[in-house]
């Protein structure tokens, strides 16, 4: 009955929206309150010049803090500084206690590997400043006292400044002293430590803080920046706003039911990376820290009280943005990116934290989910419904009710008695099954995972060293400690086909609730004084023998999906690519999983928020992003559902999902006209599936976002700096989803005026010269999508029941000419599911068009793939002077081609050139 009551409470809280009282403000977070008020006139931190050593790409030195209040200044604390020059215009600054009482935690999984080093040379040491340079010519100027770092771009101008506002702080770890001042009756009338140093309370929860205060802080300034971006996941704009009049942005992975819109509250993701941009340059920083973090922002151009005062003092408009990171624990470890364009800094970040590997192709298609499809008959009915209504589908999802009473790696024997047959019925149509595996483990005698975890000591411990017990969907639950290598091995083995009967290579995984979510925990998560595994080291016992949850919290979900990923790879001996969806997000998540934006609602505001949320995640490394189409809570009426499907068709992860208490909403359950529009949206996605697949392949190579803000490709156009209701897919498609109710037109910004860019409506092929904003008329079936002139996009117009059935279908190549009658594009082809592409079993081809010839050539001549696909049609938009004839040359043969000119929109169509995609070809035009 407790579980039922808890579920009812949670369901009601979801319907009513987030209860903000369950989550801390900065004032209620001890370290945030303490550090935010720390605003000294002068920094206490100084560099000891006598200790400076430069070797290879590293400067090492001692930093000290000095007691300036005593008659004779004395050193209070000593710190070890390390400045590293890294490849590609990146620097790293690390500051730790020289001899800490306990080791401080450094994230172990965020980086994709050891960063590559560059050279670092001393240029000068004079007037209390060290000047150093890397091989590219970027300079770093270190002011000795007070300590300050200035990073200069290749023009010699300051791009990033550290500690310009004197807010550097690394709280030294201390030994707790005894209470003093007991009176005769034993009452404590004085403590020799400040309030909250060794414990904190929030509502009914007590945090013991055995290490005491250990917070860190650093201010970062971006001169000449108009805006800064990043630090997802939040629900406000893509560009970050000044926070001085309210709460800072919070980075702390939390389970927030129906989260609040236009908010800086923490939700499921916490990626501590910031990017700045202005007309002069782009730059960025990555705060390598897994603890709870708050970020203050001051944009001196946005008209706030603070910025207005600064501008008054400085004599006018100041183009600059400041940020300040404040974390509860950890080492100060900061990477600085010196772009100088948006694409450069986005790529520099993924160079550190990794790219999304090439996903299985089906995962880019359409997914159908609900909490919950109740049994095998329900799954079959939904599967058949898509066929009956001619709507393509690639996967059906099962939420927690498929299990035996919420015990993962099991099936409900009554509702899902034949899971293997159910999967086979789906795979016969080229479809997949995706099932949920959450990190909480039901504490039930006889449940093999619980028994093993208890016996082998695999659970997270509480503050007293006992198995931590909290509440989640199964009721009483414990949590596997993924920081323990033995846990990762045990957990990964659960995915072996023999250990998870009913699964196959076509069953993939959804990792939810991995913030971790603990229904009766502080802020609906795990207490900070819980204990995680730490690799044994000599001489370390007691407090030093484990990590507290406060140190590792934001990395917890990354550990979970990393274990899932390992299990999915191992189960097929490394042959098949896994697909994993995660809710918790941290730096490096992109290497393992796709992300969705969590428990949204069927409201226009949540549809609108999904766009900047996914743009922000994309520039922060996580391109594989989408929202629950239609909204998780509530029921979307026909117009909202239509617009959400249309928007979802142009987001990387395209899944419809809904709460168990909502009305069923499979596409055919709406009226016939709405069903037709939903069908059209899904079919549009399938027609572009090879385009999406190519974009993700290219991301895996170059690290650039798949979904891009306009400023990435048009960094000089200041109008693009705050546009976050439209975006680019690669550099070829511009998408402006309709996000408002009842509109008959929307404003669309077409960038590229200075380069005389032409944009083509993808429906009519009508050309529009870039000229900033224009009004585009829309009806319920229309979404403004434009193809850039100078690009070529591969399409497949024969949409079938699933993407697997389209693998060898013919292509339509859409050529959008620029004002020189030129265009180029790419296409990537492989088997869509294995790692054979690593052994050069793929095609990555470049397609070019010039007035005299169109060519299809292999970028990697050592790679090949036996595709049976061919070119069914070539559409050339923007023809001014049509050719008189055309001939295909392939394999030593020349074949004349048929062409049709449509003068109404200047489109030339070449029908059935029948060129094979398995080998290079050319089409020669005569005039």
Contact 629, 665 (CB under 8 A): no
Sheet with 767-769, strands from edge to edge, namely: 707-708, 727-729, 733-735, 785-788, 758-761, 767-769
Q: Where are the alpha helices (DSSP H) in 770-875?
A: none
H/E element, 419:
helix 419-427
Residue 633 DSSP symbol: B
Spatial distance between the Cα atoms of 833 and 506, rounded to a whole number of angstroms? 10
In sequence order, what are the beta bridge partners of 837? Answer: none
User: 739-746, long-range: CB within 8 Å, 24+ apart, which pairs?
Assistant: 739/604, 739/607, 739/608, 739/611, 739/643, 739/647, 740/604, 740/608, 741/604, 741/639, 741/640, 742/639, 743/778, 744/777, 744/778, 744/779, 745/775, 745/776, 745/777, 745/778, 746/775, 746/776, 746/778, 746/784
Residue with tokens 């918790």: 584
H/E element, 295:
strand 293-299
Spatial distance between the Cα atoms of 423 and 433, rounded to a whole number of angstroms? 6
What sign for the dihedral angle of Cα 829, 832, 838, 840?
A: negative
Report the SS3 class of residue 574. coil
H/E element, 421:
helix 419-427
What sign for the dihedral angle of Cα 814, 818, 822, 825?
A: negative
Contact 149, 163 (CB under 8 A): yes
Report the SS3 class of residue 485. helix
Which residues are identified as catalytic?
512, 599
Tokens of 776: 């585009």
- Tell the burial category of 91 from Cβ atoms under 10 Å away from its Cβ (0-12, 13-18, 19+): buried
Residue 316 DSSP symbol: S
Residue 238 DSSP symbol: S
Tokens of 304: 């706030």
In this structure, how many other beta carbons lie within 10 angstroms of the beta carbon of residue 766?
15
| CA-based nearest residue to 496, from 568, 400, 398, 421 | 568
Beta-strand ranges (E) seen in 691-842 are 707-708, 727-729, 733-735, 745-750, 758-761, 767-769, 772-777, 785-788, 791-795, 811-816, 823-829
Spatial distance between the Cα atoms of 336 and 332, rounded to a whole number of angstroms? 13
Spatial distance between the Cα atoms of 605 and 608, rounded to a whole number of angstroms? 5
User: First and final CA of the chain: distance in angstroms?
Assistant: 81
DSSP string computed for 518-573: -TTSGGGB--TT-EE-----TT--GGGGSEEHHHHGGGHHHHHHHHHHHHHHHHTT
Beta-strand ranges (E) seen in 119-195 are 121-126, 129-133, 139-143, 148-152, 158-162, 169-170, 180-182, 188-190
Spatial distance between the Cα atoms of 611 and 246, rounded to a whole number of angstroms? 24
Spatial distance between the Cα atoms of 654 and 682, rounded to a whole number of angstroms? 9
Spatial distance between the Cα atoms of 802 and 431, rounded to a whole number of angstroms? 6
DSSP string computed for 658-672: --TTSPP--GGGS-H
């Amino acid at each position: 009955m407790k579980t039922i009551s808890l579920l009812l409470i949670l369901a009601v809280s979801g319907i009513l929206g987030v209860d903000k009282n369950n989550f801390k403000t900065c004032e209620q977070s001890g370290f945030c309150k303490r550090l935010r008020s720390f605003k000294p006139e002068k920094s206490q931190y100084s560099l000891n010049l006598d200790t400076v050593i430069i070797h290879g790409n590293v400067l090492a030195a001692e930093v000290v803090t000095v007691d300036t209040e005593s008659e004779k200044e004395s050193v209070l604390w000593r710190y070890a500084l390390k400045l590293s020059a890294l490849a590609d215009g990146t620097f790293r600054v690390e500051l730790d206690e020289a001899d800490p009482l306990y080791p401080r935690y450094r994230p172990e999984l965020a980086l994709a590997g050891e960063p590559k080093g560059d050279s670092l040379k001393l240029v000068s040491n004079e007037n209390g400043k060290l000047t150093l340079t890397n091989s590219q010519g970027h300079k770093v100027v270190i002011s000795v006292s007070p300590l300050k770092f200035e990073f200069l771009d290749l023009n010699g101008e300051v791009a990033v400044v550290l500690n310009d506002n004197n807010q550097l702080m690394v709280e030294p770890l201390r030994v707790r002293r005894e209470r003093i001042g007991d009176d005769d009756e034993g009452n404590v009338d004085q403590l020799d430590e400040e309030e909250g140093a060794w414990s904190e309370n929030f509502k009914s929860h007590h945090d013991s803080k055995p290490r005491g205060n250990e917070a860190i802080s650093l201010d970062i300034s971006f001169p000449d920046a108009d805006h800064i971006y990043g630090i997802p996941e939040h629900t406000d704009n893509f560009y970050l706003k000044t926070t001085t009049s309210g709460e800072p942005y919070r980075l702390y992975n939390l389970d927030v039911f129906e989260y609040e819109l236009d908010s800086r509250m923490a939700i499921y993701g916490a990626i501590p990376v910031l990017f700045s941009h202005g007309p002069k340059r782009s730059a960025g920083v990555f705060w390598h820290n897994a603890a709870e973090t708050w970020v203050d922002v001051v944009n001196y151009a946005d008209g706030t009280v603070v910025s207005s005062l600064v501008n008054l003092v400085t004599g006018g408009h100041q183009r600059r943005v400041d940020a300040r990171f404040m974390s509860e624990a950890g080492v100060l470890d900061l990477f600085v990116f010196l772009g100088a364009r948006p694409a450069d800094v986005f790529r520099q970040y993924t160079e550190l934290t990794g790219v999304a590997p090439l996903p299985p192709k089906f995962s880019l298609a359409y997914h159908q989910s609900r909490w919950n499809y109740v049994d095998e008959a329900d799954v079959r009915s939904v599967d058949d419904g898509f066929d009956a209504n001619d709507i393509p589908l690639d996967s059906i999802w099962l939420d927690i009710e498929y299990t035996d009473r919420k015990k993962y790696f099991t099936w409900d024997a009554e509702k899902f008695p034949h899971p293997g047959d159910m999967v086979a019925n789906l795979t016969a149509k080229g479809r997949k099954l995706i099932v949920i595996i959450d990190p909480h483990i039901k504490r039930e005698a006889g449940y093999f995972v619980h028994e093993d975890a208890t016996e082998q000591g695999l659970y997270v411990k509480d503050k007293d060293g006992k198995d931590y017990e909290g509440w989640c969907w199964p009721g009483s639950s414990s949590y596997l400690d993924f920081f323990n290598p033995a846990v990762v091995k045990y957990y990964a083995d659960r995915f072996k086909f023999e250990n998870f009967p009913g699964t196959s290579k076509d069953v993939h995984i959804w990792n939810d609730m991995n913030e971790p979510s603990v229904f009766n925990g502080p802020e609906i998560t795990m207490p900070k004084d819980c204990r995680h595994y730490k690799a044994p080291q000599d001489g370390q016992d007691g407090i030093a023998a484990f990590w507290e949850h406060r140190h590792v919290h934001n990395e917890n979900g990354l550990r979970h999906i990393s274990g899932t990923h390992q299990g999915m790879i191992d189960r097929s001996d490394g042959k098949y690519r896994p697909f994993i969806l995660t809710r918790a997000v941290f730096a490096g998540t992109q290497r393992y999983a796709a992300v969705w934006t969590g428990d949204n609602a069927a409201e226009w505001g949540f549809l609108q928020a999904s766009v900047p949320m996914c743009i922000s995640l994309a520039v922060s490394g996580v391109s594989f992003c989408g929202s629950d189409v239609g909204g998780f809570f509530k029921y979307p009426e026909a117009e909202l559902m239509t617009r959400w499907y249309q928007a979802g068709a142009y987001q990387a992860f395209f899944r419809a999902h809904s709460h168990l208490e909502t009305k069923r909403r499979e596409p055919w359950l709406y009226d016939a006209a709405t069903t037709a529009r939903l069908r059209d949206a899904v079919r549009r996605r399938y027609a572009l599936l090879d385009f999406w697949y190519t974009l993700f392949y290219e991301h895996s190579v170059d690290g650039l976002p798949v979904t891009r803000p306009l400023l990435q490709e048009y960094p000089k156009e200041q109008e693009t700096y705050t546009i976050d209701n439209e975006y680019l897919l690669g550099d070829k498609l511009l998408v402006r989803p309709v996000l408002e109710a009842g509109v008959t037109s929307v404003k669309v910004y077409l960038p590229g005026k200075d380069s005389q860019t032409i944009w083509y409506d993808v429906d009519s092929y009508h050309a529009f010269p870039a000229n900033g904003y224009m009004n585009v008329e829309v009806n319920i079936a229309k979404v403004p999508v434009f193809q850039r002139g100078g690009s070529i996009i591969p399409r497949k117009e024969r949409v079938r029941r699933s993407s697997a059935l389209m693998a060898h279908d013919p292509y339509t190549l859409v050529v959008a000419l620029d004002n020189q009658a030129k265009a180029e594009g790419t296409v990537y082809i492989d088997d869509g599911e294995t790692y054979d592409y690593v052994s050069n079993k793929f095609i990555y081809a470049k397609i070019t068009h010039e007035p005299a010839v169109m060519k299809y050539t292999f970028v990697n001549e050592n790679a090949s793939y036996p595709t049976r696909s061919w070119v069914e049609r070539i559409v050339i938009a923007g023809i001014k002077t049509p050719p008189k004839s055309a001939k295909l040359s392939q394999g030593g043969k020349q074949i004349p081609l048929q062409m049709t000119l449509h003068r109404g929109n200047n489109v030339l169509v070449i029908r059935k050139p029948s060129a094979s995609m398995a080998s290079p070809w050319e089409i020669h035009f005569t005039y």
